Amino acid sequence: MKRLDLDFHPQPSRFWPALLLLAGVVAGAWTGQVWLAERERHTGFARTIAELQPTPATPRATRAPDSADRVAQTRVAAQLAASWETPLDAIAVARGKAIALLSLDAKLDKRQIKLIAEARQLADAVAFVEALQSQPGIRSAALTQHELQQEARDKPVRFYVTLEWRP
């Protein structure tokens, strides 16, 4: 009988590790090539974007503001410094539930506000104007016009008030 020789620890083949190493080198080279191509494409995009962006303008010499600019600056400064609290607080205090404000047009240079409002009755409008006249800081309040709104369901009275306040 022949002797049976069983080898439970065979010698590893040198072929497979070399093949895996070669596959890794090829994959690394391919990945590097793809990375370089993408980097070049990105650089091209960045260059195109830089070419399309406008160049910054050269700073102009500052000029002295002319009279129209000064007038506009003075007007804006006056509007920012104006105290709107007095007339607006007076309107808020004087207005009751019977008054609906529709429009408010302010003229700062005259310290004047023109109101358009509606009331259920003319007596409510007159009471509103009288309440405005009694508010501190208000120079005058005048009912300038009123009209009955016939087409409306409740037929309110639309009235116009001119309000002037003290500085």
The per-residue pLDDT for range 102-136, each reduced to its tens digit, is: 999 988 778 899 999 999 999 999 999 999 999 99
- What is the overall mean pLDDT for the chain? 86
Kindly report the CATH number assigned to the domain that includes residue 100: 3.30.1360.100
Neighbours of 133 (CB within 10 A): 15
66 lies in some domain: no
Same domain, 99 and 42: no
Q: Output the six-digit token pair for 51.
A: 């070419």
Which pLDDT does position 62 carry in this prediction?
A: 64
Q: How many Å apart are CA 90 and CA 100, to the nearest integer?
A: 15
Q: What is the pLDDT of residues 144-160, one digit of tens each?
A: 999 998 888 888 999 99
Indicate the number of domains in the chain.
Answer: 2
Q: State pLDDT tens for residues 25-56.
A: 999 999 999 999 999 988 888 888 888 877 76
> Does residue 99 belong to any structural domain of this protein?
yes
Looking at residue 68, its pLDDT comes to 84
**pLDDT score, position 69:** 86
Quote the pLDDT of residue 26. Answer: 95
For residue 61, is it within any domain? no
Q: Does 1 map to a domain?
A: no
Whether 57 shows a pLDDT value over 70: the answer reads no
Is there a single domain that holds both residue 103 and residue 159?
A: yes
Task: Provide the domain limits for residue 27.
Answer: 16-53
> What are the two backbone dihedrals, phi and then psi, of residue 13, each rounded to the nearest 5 degrees?
-80, 145
Beta-bridged to residue 114, according to DSSP, are 105, 162
**Together in a domain, 105 and 152:** yes
134: three-class secondary structure by DSSP? coil
Q: Is residue 4 part of a domain?
A: no
Residues 27 and 89 in one domain: no
